[in-house]
Amino acid sequence: MNKPLAAALMAGIAGLAGPVLAQNSELVVNSAVAPSTLDPAWACGLQEISFLQNFYVRLVQHGTAEGPEGTRVVDYSSIEPYLADSWEVSEDGLTYTFYLKEGFTFESGNPVDAEAVRYSFQRVLDMAGCGRFFLTDGHIDPVIFDSIEAVDPLTVVITLNKPNGNMLGDLATHAASIVDPSIIEANGGVVPGQPNEFMAANVTESGPFLLESYSANQSARMVANPEFAGEAPASDAISVNWITAAPTLLLQARTGQADITFGLAKQAVSTMGNNPGTRVIAYTNPFVQQMMLPNTKAPWDNVLFREAVAHAVPYEDIVERVAYGYGTLYYGPIPPSLPGFNAELSQPVPFNLDRARQLIAEIGIETPVDIEVMIQEGDATQQQLATILQSTWTELGINLNIRVAPAAEFQDLSQSHQVQSLMRLDGPGVFEVGYYWGYDAVCDNPNNLTEYCNPEVDALVEQLRASSDEAERQQIMDDVTEIWRSEFPKILFFEDQPVVVLSDAVSEFTFSPLPDYRYWAK
């Protein structure tokens, strides 16, 4: 445990008599980590997606289901209409025809019509950022979209070059957000392969909320869009605060100054169990605390060195001391909460420093070895994980230097593959294995931050995407799991069990790994 942090946390809460719940109707949401961009075409991470998606409508959306303790959860197995009133899919699975609802407008007053849909999707493809990976389900070589056509103001036809059973799920992601073409064209337009500076800090609202104010890395205020033609959000106004100071985040959760709190370190969560006026609720999701070891960069280009450091991680201690039990150990390319996970084939890597020393000696690498790991500012869990590795790896002659980067810098450097290693909480934007493997099991994919490449695995991934036979798909996933495990592409600390702290003032809450604020209210 980080003792100075623990002392600060205890000092911050000492002497509190009880909660002081906010009395006004405005919902207050606190989170530890800020978004790095507000552009749905460029956004990659959990923080970006969960905030920006609230300002845009999409063709379709996921439904919800019953969750723990009177809450609800987003149901990723269901697809419902949103901007699209209905749709048709051709028998060969290549053509999707969407019939749009009338009455949706942008804040500018322009209609949210078929041309806006076409422009938005083409923009995502042309910019070739993370959004393209979400929108195409990872089919980017070649891009799976053959054409996007606005047939008339209320009809959009999308033609694919090969069938994809996950296409509707892709169109429910943030990357499929419908943006205002007139605003974007007036502010930089579309530059292939490049981000749009205006959109990094602005939104062109078509959805349930308007962005009233935004201060990067600090705070924002969103208000219900009075012109929104869809179902009104549950809250009229939401204030969002990004708080990197762990004691402050905990203090405001304890006292009810925050109605909803995300990102508390699990050590802080452990102090909230009997706190009056709040509820602590744990959920499951396939998001994993991990360390990327870019396999093309030294020293990670040596599989034996990757195997050595994988054995030099005290996994069980980490789940106990960092995750406080809110974590699941495993090792493999499929997280336990994702369909296709095989527990027998995905046993955790044992902590064995003797084995690690033996492997390093076998390599003959000269020690000490200097390694830099980048973590994101405000992420207390990453700080703890990095500190533990820093202490443990000195016994192997590895000097681990920790680089703390603000959100935007972290995003830019990680996505441009400019770091030696990094830690992140990562999971699928589309909850399907074929998509997820684009992160660390597909060659020449720009979103593969692990930079792992095995042509045999690539061939198996293509077979998986083409198959609808469940037994065949499971066998393919098992084969990939065994190959991937033998090559130790990265370190998996644990599958995270996210914990949300709700004040008793919260009357409606729906959980999602990519939170949607529409469903929250006091």
pLDDT digits (tens, 9 = 90+) for 337-375: 888 999 999 999 999 999 999 999 999 999 999 999 999
Predicted confidence (pLDDT) at residue 466 exceeds the cutoff of 90: no
Q: What angle do CA 385, 386, 390 make, to 5 degrees?
A: 120
> Residue 14: inside a domain, yes or no?
no
Cβ-based burial of 53 (10 A; exposed 0-12, middle 13-18, buried ≥19): buried
Q: What are the phi and psi torsion angles at 224 (to 5°)? A: -60, 135
Alpha-carbon distance 160 to 203, whole Å? 29
**C-alpha to C-alpha distance for 281 and 71, rounded to whole angstroms:** 9
**pLDDT tens per residue, range 235-273:** 999 999 999 898 999 999 999 999 999 999 888 998 998
Q: Is the confidence at residue 157, as pLDDT, over 60? A: yes
Q: Whose CA is closest to 386, among 396, 368, 405, 401?
A: 401
Same-domain pairing of 231 and 325? no
What distance, in Å, lies between the first and last C-alpha atoms of the chain?
Answer: 35
201 inside domain: yes
- Whether the per-residue pLDDT at 9 is higher than 60: the answer is no
Interhelix angle 3-13/246-255, rounded to 10 degrees, is: 30
Rounded distance between C-alpha atoms, residue 311 and residue 354, angstroms:
9
What tokens does 517 get? Answer: 């604020």
Say if residue 39 is in the same domain as residue 57. yes
| 515 shares a domain with 369 | no
CATH label of the domain that carries residue 119: 3.40.190.10
Considering the domain architecture, whether residues 383 and 416 belong to the same structural domain is answered as: yes
Q: How many residues does the chain have?
A: 522
Asked, for residue 357, whether it belongs to a domain, the answer is yes
- Residue 7 in this model has a pLDDT that exceeds 60: no
Average pLDDT over residues 86-103: 97
What would the two tokens of residue 451 be?
């930079």
Tokens of 175: 């990357």
42-71 pLDDT tens trace = 998 888 999 999 999 999 999 999 999 999
Per-residue model confidence (pLDDT) at position 368 = 96
Q: Is residue 306 part of a domain?
A: yes
Pairing of strands 27-31, 237-242: parallel
Phi, then psi, of 384 in degrees rounded to 5: -65, -45
Report, as an integer, the average pLDDT of 206-222: 97
| 309 and 217 part of one domain | no
Q: Which residues pair with residue 159 across a beta bridge?
A: 95, 147
Check whether residue 427 and residue 352 sit in a common domain: yes
Residue 232 vs residues 65, 176, 228, 356, 502: alpha-carbon distances, Å: 19, 20, 7, 56, 22
Each residue's pLDDT tens digit, 121-148: 999 999 999 999 999 988 888 999 999 9
Strand partners, 499: 282
Q: Is residue 34 part of a domain?
A: yes
CA separation (Å) from 327 to 113, 250, 336, 337?
44, 20, 11, 12
Separation of alpha carbons 434 and 369, rounded Å: 35
Q: Are 225 and 107 in contact (CB under 8 A)?
A: yes
Judgement on whether residues 127 and 99 belong to the same structural domain of the protein:
yes
The answer to whether residue 315 sits within a structural domain is: yes
Determine what percent of the chain is predicted with pLDDT higher than 70.
Answer: 95
Containing structural domain, residue 137:
30-235+499-519
Under a CB-based contact definition with an 8 Å cutoff, are residues 19 and 254 in contact?
yes
Does residue 456 sit in the same domain as residue 514?
Answer: no
State the residue for tokens 């830019």: 412
pLDDT at site 24: 57
CATH number reported for the structural domain that contains residue 316 in this entry: 3.10.105.10
The answer on 332 and 229 residing in a single domain is: no
Structure pTM?
A: 0.77
Beta carbons of 143 and 132 less than 8 angstroms apart: yes
Distance between CA atoms of 522 and 517, rounded to whole angstroms?
12
pLDDT digits (tens, 9 = 90+) for 397-442: 999 999 999 988 998 999 899 999 999 988 887 888 888 898 888 8
- My answer on whether 65 and 107 are in the same domain is yes
Q: Give me the residues paired with residue 521 across strands.
A: 508
Is residue 12's pLDDT more than 60? no
Residue 406 lies in a domain: yes
Local structure of 289: helix, strand or coil: strand
Residue closest to 258 by CA, chosen among 508, 440, 20: 20
Edge-to-edge strands, sheet with 95-100: 84-89, 95-100, 155-160, 145-152
pLDDT exceeds 80 at position 1: no
| Buried b or exposed e, range 360-375, using 16+ CB within 10 angstroms | beeeebeeebebebbb
Q: Residues 90, 140: one domain?
A: yes
CA-to-CA dists, residue 281 to 329, 422, 498, 502, angstroms: 20, 29, 8, 8
Domain contains 130: yes
Backbone phi, psi, residue 234, to 5°: -70, -25
- Structural domains counted in the chain: 2
Is residue 309 located within the same domain as residue 166? Answer: no
Strand ranges across the sheet with 219-224: 209-215, 219-224, 237-242, 27-31, 260-262, 499-503, 278-282
